[in-house]
Structure 1
Amino acid sequence: MDNNQNGSNWNDHNGQRDRWNSSSSDSSYYNQPTHRPYGQAFSVASAVCGLLSMTTSCTIVLSLPLGALGILFAVLAHRAKKKMNSTCGTGLILSCVGLTTAVSMIVYSFVMLPSLMQNATFRNQVNAVSQQLYGMDFDEFMEGAYGYSFDD
């Protein structure tokens, strides 16, 4: 019995279907396999790192490397001189916002620490937390390590 009769697209060996037989009525010309665009993985990685950088900006420790990675992945996705897709742009913006927020919180902390340590209530809270975590008051640490004391 002939497998190719009546317009079916079965070939003679192994009973497999011949996808490339254009004479059949169910030709798969428009259903050709497509490849994913190159650089899409870097765009998605940039968006994920940017989102995580922005949401963890209050922890500073996580936000700095995630923001830097998000910017790096956005640059790697855009390096092929192609137009930047929306996922890559979103990742770049979120990474920059997260990185900027973390850096501004670090600067604010260092600028405000001496004036905050003048407040007795705040100083007692910082000393209590430092004593619990490290076994040493923050005042003792600053005097021993840097020779700096917070005098009233």
Structure 2
Amino acid sequence: MTLWFYFSSSLAILATLLSILSKHAVHALLYFVLSILSLAMTLQELGASFAAVLEVMIYAGAIMVLFVLVVMLLNPNRELQHRNLLAPAFLAAALLFELLFKKVSVSPGPLHPMNHPPWLASIFRDYGTLVELSSFVLLAGLLVAFRVSRK
């Protein structure tokens, strides 16, 4: 456990440094997504599975993907003269290796029921329609932003 904790935390630090030092906005955001995924793996190693899942869903899944989409829609005119893909390929391979090794090496234990707060169950039981409608409103806003950026 300690080895994977140090590996994922050092991967997060390296990805964050590359995000800060990157000259292109899209590359910086992609490095930052990799950093968030590495931090989620670090949280998983610490035993905070729920926090790791929330971090991946909220930060890497929603906010950072939206940032990447906005930067790509703005279409920066600076073209890359040459592409140095060694650092991103190494970081992605290291994260993939860690994920696959943890998946293969750890045998699943017995399932334990989780105690969820009552409000969490009521969100989807009582307010499921409102949750779905709010997701459609967010989707409509994204489509409008895409359409406006094309003009």
TM-score between the two structures when normalised by the length of structure 1: 0.30
Which is higher, the Rg of structure 1 or of structure 2? 1
TM-score between the two structures when normalised by the length of structure 2: 0.30
Q: Which has the higher contact order (CA 8 A, sep 6+)?
A: 2
